[in-house]
Amino acid sequence: MTESVDGCPRILIVDDDRDFRENLSRALIMQGGFEVNTAGDGFEAGYLFARTRPHVVILDVVMNGMGGLDICRKIRRMSREQGPRIIVLTAYPGKETGERTLLHGADLLLTKPQDVQQLILHIEDLLGD
């Protein structure tokens, strides 16, 4: 598994729902031992992505301004080498969302709400643990 300097994989959560971001962040830190940063929009996500170089990015599909799939596509363009693993979370699953998610470069599409322990297992699996 790829790790940060202190041994913890870095995760960036991008979601415009502040309560969701904070709760998920807290759970991933406490239950998964991850280093977590959060962003509420595409601009903040771009800044934090460049600054922290996360191993995993968790994106909401529907957000005000730039949506998660647009952010996903930009991340893939920014990280031409081995980029981060990208998990897209949506409350609106469907065949079209799944197809669009994969076309934009995501590694995994999950439905909200997502059990934190299951999400941790998905993250560890994507990181090769």
Percent share of the chain, pLDDT over 70:
90
Query: Is residue 119 pLDDT above 90, yes or no?
Result: yes
| CATH classification at residue 82 | 3.40.50.2300
- Residue 89's beta-bridge partner residues? 60, 110
Query: Is residue 98 pLDDT above 80, yes or no?
Result: no
Q: Which residue has the higher pLDDT, 4 or 22?
A: 22
Q: ∠ at Cα 14 (11, 19), nearest 5°?
A: 105
Q: Is residue 2 part of a domain?
A: no
Query: Is residue 92 pLDDT above 60, yes or no?
Result: yes
How sure is the predictor about 5, in pLDDT bands with cuts at 50, 70 and 90? very low
Q: What is the pLDDT of residues 14-58, one digit of tens each?
A: 999 999 999 999 999 999 999 999 999 988 998 999 999 999 999
State the total domains in the chain: 1
Burial 22-52 (b: 16+ CB within 10 A, else e): eebbebbeeebebbbbbbbebeebbebbeee
Residues in the chain: 129
CB 12 within 8 A of CB 54: yes
Q: Is residue 26 part of a domain?
A: yes
Query: Is residue 3 pLDDT above 70, yes or no?
Result: no
Q: Is residue 3 part of a domain?
A: no
pTM of the model: 0.87
Domain range spanning residue 21? 10-126
Lowest mean pLDDT among 5-14, 49-58, 118-127: 5-14
Q: Provide the pLDDT for residue 1.
A: 39
